[in-house]
Chain A
Amino acid sequence: MRRIWAALTTTAFTAAALTGCGLGSGDTKNSDSVASAAATGEVKGKVSLQTWALKPKFTDYMQGVIDGFKKKYPGVEVEWLDQPGEGYSDKVLSQAAAGTLPDVVNLPPDFALPLARKDLLLDVAKADPKLAEEYVAGGVDAYRFVGQQGTFGYPWYLNTDVNYWNSELLTKYGLDPKKPPTSLDELIAQARVMKEKSGGQTYLMSRKPGIGDLYNAGVKIMSDDGRTFTFNTPEAAALLDKYRDAFKDGLLPKDVLTNTYAGNSKLFNAGTAAWTTAGANHITSLAVDNPTLAPKVVPSPALDTPPLYVQGVSIPKSTKNPAAAVALARWVTNAENQAAFAHLTSIFPSTKASAGDPFFSKSDGTNAGDAKVIAFASLAKAKLIQPVQVDDAMSTVINQQIALAISGDASSKQALDTAVEQCNRLLKG
């Protein structure tokens, strides 16, 4: 019996050693050869496309895009996979580990970075030299990573944040919805008025600050080489001090300490908080969740630099059909198809040719139309505020330490130092 156990254990250890701790080592195909095959190859054969949570709302749109592609390139066959919203990162991770990523895959920049680091993604700029001419700089830059040579995705659609105010609550508590706060100090001052006049039943502020707020306070989040976090500065501590004082005075609900970002929009949608920040389509979705509130919402530009949110499609280097993959990625993200997509929902195209489309710059007179125009105008100064290096674990650590500072259980400086130390440790691995 002992010999059997010894044999089993030896087999297990040997298998572990042979498989490199049970983990794959990634595909190391030469980027130049794949790019050249993409540029010169014929567009035909089978190609797969993976999108993220577009079914069933945008099934017809995507099917139309695919049909158009097949019409342009007869002889090409497209397999469309749409993954559910929840657990998409796990799905992509398992596909990448197993070497089964589809030929064209929807990856936001923070998903693309770890794959690019493992040399799994094609440098699309090599396969498509006109990329930078056709897509807006912010979108292309989102797929260029410090320390990695290349552009690892076609930017698809863009979005940013807009401020939304509940005009009914503002008016009820003596505030002017036509003059919403334009700075943090004004926001805190108006939050105090609302708290006092509502007897603490309604809030103007209902979220704790995050990386975006630190950035807008002039704090450098990361070093230029992307190797260390640097947001434990006196300016950052001063910002957290302001929030701590506001929290102590009851200007924010207690559960901001544990609520994730969604908590803020939930309170807004329920009519408990009078301010939220969200994408350009918030009023449209609010019209479904709370139809009586939707018409009372007034949009305004973000308080400082608005965040730029980018979605894109990448091509794994392991694709067996690089020519069709690049052609499909270009097709899905071209100006015409992006404009058609943006007409269906409040997102914005990443193509330069779409900038002149009056659909985005002229409101139809509704508050949802105003929000769209504000968001489109904001895109010009929007920035990728959150470094793509910030992963889930780091976000959790930053949230925890900011909550600790605001609760008053640790000084702002102490909490920021801990957050930076833990994030740097996570970054180094």
Chain B
Amino acid sequence: MTHRRWFTPWLLAGPAIVWLAVFNLWPAVNTVILSFTNAKPLGGGRFTGLENYGRLLDDEQLADALLNSIVFMLVCLPLLTVLPLLLALLVQRKIPGITFFRTAFYTPVIASAVVVAVVWGWVLDDRGLVNGLLRQTGLAGSPVSFLTDRWLLLFSAIALTVWKGLGYYMVIYLSALGNVPRELHEAAAVDGAGSVRRFWHITLPGVRPTMILISALISVSSLRVFSELYVLSNGQGGPGGRDMSVVMLIQMYSRGFNGHLGYASALSLLLFLVTLGPMLFLMRLNRKAA
């Protein structure tokens, strides 16, 4: 005889629920609470109403940081959605030695973001490899300010992110391409469709769900960019702090003995809401496509 105890499912789900409550739900709730206080790391904090949210509207650095994060996303999104697909199509072919190229394209993914950014910092420095080449070839008379000009620094960080992310998204596309039925390509070829036409009408619809997933991942990670900009600007965020991202601002306000946890929490919630925008748009796009 089997006894069906009402708590059995709860017992099984219990550890996961506790985990989620302690490490996801509670920090999220605490962030909301802190955003209405002037809390410091060493205790206390009183309720300050909407003061931190009012300060968001008055923060010029935040306006710059939001613009930087959005530009970062708008440039990274198409590049990291399309380039890895083209790369995946290239390395998908079964030709001798292709495994070497697959591994080579994936190698930057394994390296730590901080280490890669430090190396790029040396390469793009006034006395770095790129400026040395530009001067030797006569393309530039004086060093190009890759790391000190507001927009050049931002685009250097974007280039780094794209270079480092190519291999990761390429691997995701490779598995998606493996699921596109080969028969469709063969039938289309028999009907006289060229490779471009097959790409548009067979490959692209076949990987569309993966493309939307990758777009969602890129938009979230781009809006939360930190290491690349932080390391390339030596933690300074460029002259005037005009190259800071929203996460860099959160880090600046929350660190140390006098960390402004209340304002940093308000910034975190703002970033959460900003991140929701592209996510909802992509979910809608996915539903439409389905």
Contacts and interface: CB of A to CB of B under 8 A. Distances in A.
A409 interface: yes
Given A23-B44, A114-B42, A393 B240 contact: no
Contacts of B136: none
Contact of B258 (A8, A24, A393): A393
B208 interface: no
Contacts of A97: 41-43
Contacts of B42: 23-24, 26, 93, 96-97, 114-115, 118, 120
Interface string A1-27: 000000011001101100011111110
B236 A409 contact: no
Given A93-B42, A114-B258, A393-B255, A403 B126 contact: no
A253 interface: yes
B260 interface: yes
A182 to B, nearest CB: 29
B127 interface: yes
Interface in B106-125: 125
20 contacts: A15-B26, A21-B34, A21-B37, A22-B34, A23-B39, A23-B44, A26-B42, A93-B257, A254-B126, A255-B125, A257-B239, A258-B153, A258-B234, A258-B238, A259-B236, A260-B234, A392-B252, A396-B235, A403-B238, A415-B240
A21 B30 contact: yes
The SS class assigned to the B binding surface is loop
A118 B44 CA distance: 10
Contacts of A415: 240
Nearest to B131: A254
Contacts of B37: 21
B165 interface: no
A197 B219 CA distance: 50
A406 B235 CA distance: 18
A237 to B, nearest CB: 16
Interface string B149-166: 000010000000000000
B195 interface: no
B255 A403 contact: no
Contacts of B237: 396, 400
A8 B21 contact: yes
Contact of A21 (B33, B126, B234, B241): B33
Interface in B32-59: 33-34, 37-45
Interface in A215-240: none
A42 interface: no
B25 interface: yes
A365 interface: no
Contacts, number: 137
Given A16-B29, A21-B39, A415-B240, A393 B126 contact: no
Contacts of A407: 148, 239-240
A111 to B, nearest CB: 7
Contact of A23 (B43, B126, B153, B236): B43
A118 B43 contact: yes
A380 interface: no
A200 to B, nearest CB: 8
A404 interface: yes
Contacts of A340: none
Interface of A: 8-9, 12-13, 15-16, 20-26, 89-90, 93, 96-97, 111, 113-115, 118, 120, 253-255, 257-260, 263, 272, 391-393, 396-397, 399-401, 403-404, 406-407, 409-410, 415, 426, 429
Contact of B239 (A23, A111, A272, A404): A404
B225 to A, nearest CB: 17
Contacts of A118: 42-43
Most chain A CB within a 10 A radius of its CB, from B39, B127, B256, B259: B256
B260 A23 contact: no
A12 B236 contact: no
Residue among B37, B241, B242, B253 with most chain A CB within 10 A = B241
B233 interface: yes
B176 to A, nearest CB: 35
Interface in B214-270: 233-242, 252-253, 255-260
A245 to B, nearest CB: 16
Given A21-B34, A258-B234, A259-B234, A409 B145 contact: no
Contacts of B177: none
Contact of A255 (B33, B43, B126, B257): B126
Contacts of B38: 429
B186 to A, nearest CB: 49
Residue in A13, A22, A120, A254 whose Cβ sees the most chain B Cβ within 10 Å: A254
Nearest to B40: A429
B147 A258 contact: yes
Contacts of B147: 255, 258
A426 B256 CA distance: 12
A232 to B, nearest CB: 15
B257 A20 contact: no
Interface string B5-26: 0000000000000000100011
A414 to B, nearest CB: 10
B239 A89 contact: no
Contacts of B39: 21, 23
A92 to B, nearest CB: 8
B278 interface: no
Contacts of B206: none
A258 B259 CA distance: 23
Nearest to A262: B234
A406 B39 CA distance: 35
A12 B29 contact: yes
Given A26-B43, A114-B42, A255-B148, A403 B256 contact: no
Most buried by A among B29, B42, B238: B42
